[in-house]
Amino acid sequence: MKIEFNSEKEFDIIAIGRACIDLNAVEYNRPMEETMTFKKYVGGSPANIAIGTSKLGLKAGFIGKLSDDQHGRFIEQYMREIGVDTSYIVVDQEGHKSGLAFTEIKSPEECSILMYRDEVADLFLTASEVSEEYIKKAKVLLVSGTALAKSPSREAVLKAVHLAKKNDVKIIFELDHRPYTWASPDETSAYYTLVAEQANVVVGTRDEFDVMENSKDGSNDDTVNHLFNHSPELIVIKHGVEGSYAYTKSGEVFRGQAYLTKVLKTFGAGDSYASAFLYALIKGKDIETALKYGSASAAIVVSKHSSSEAMPTVEEIEKLIAEYSKETVTTK
């Protein structure tokens, strides 16, 4: 099965939501209290996915709000130079700052993120700053869950979803759950469910789907049975090292294996997975192949220091898939 996209659209994908600053520890294997050096990158799930798809050769755009300062200018310039259309990025005029994420790399298994997300610029994107003319030019609107955490960003995203449905634009909902800024689990569940039921494709970890369902031990079957009563035609549920599962409305189930790699850190895997998975779908590849692209891309990014800068090329992804296939054949 393949997902059909409107080939007449100018943009392959337009993402909406947060773009922020990642400050990744340069010194590995030590707690943040003892870390003295950090390297600056662009971060934020929808920004990373826009960057990742652009590096893979898709025409990507971005809707968001940035701070009117050095950090905001750094983010816009980096995204523009990597090939992302930034013409609908809004500069905040009310003094709100871009979000900061400090990362700690104690070991490949022990990574944590210290977030500064109070009153950040991206959550002040308003509905009036979302353009129908822009959204209608895209094959895909990518929405990530964090943008739903507070108003007015929440209403801006809901307007974007409405405009996408109105203009034959596929909606991809990347759950991207971050507990900060949400008022309660009930609120998170309500807004996640509202958007998931309107999306064409929903992607997230099993834990994120549990958050959406406000449950601790949800099952994949229950998740897909509920969502397939609504708009989704494809649901991807990731289970970490156990791989990922893709479910289609027609009843097919595909499993994507995780690729073994030398892990440096755990963050960045989800955004790189989504970038390559969406690239493959938009390029007309089948779902099984798209799962391989996603897994390979995630394996590459967790082996490197950054998230945005580490986003791989198509050649790197296909090389890893080919190497893995050769090893699998050899060991059989």
* DSSP state, residue 253: E
pLDDT in tens, 162-171: 999 999 999 9
Tell me what pLDDT residue 76 has. Answer: 98
Name residue, tokens 């392959």: 12
CB of 331 closer than 8 Å to CB of 45? no
| Cα-only R_g, the chain | 19
Helix (H) or strand (E) holding 20: strand 20-25
Residue 117 to residues 93, 138, 147, 181, 300: CA-CA distances in angstroms? 18, 29, 12, 7, 28
Question: For residue 254, what pLDDT band results from cuts at 50, 70 and 90?
Answer: very high
The whole-model pTM stands at 0.95
Residue 215 predicted with pLDDT over 80: yes
pLDDT in tens, 134-150: 999 999 999 999 999 99
Question: For residue 220, what pLDDT band results from cuts at 50, 70 and 90?
Answer: very high
Domains and CATH numbers, the chain: 11-19+45-96+118-331 (3.40.1190.20)
Q: Report residue 299 as tokens.
A: 């394996």
Cα within 13 Å of Cα(37), Cβ side: 4
- Cβ partners under 8 Å of residue 92, min gap 6: 65, 66, 67, 68, 72, 121, 124
Tell me what pLDDT residue 326 has. Answer: 65
Name residue, tokens 């099984």: 288
- 304 φ/ψ sector (left φ>0, alpha ψ -120 to 50, else beta): beta
Terminal CA-CA length for the chain = 28
Tell me what pLDDT residue 104 has. Answer: 86
Angle at 115 between CA 186 and CA 243, to 5 degrees: 70
- Over residues 223-232, the mean pLDDT reads 98
Tell me what pLDDT residue 330 has. Answer: 38
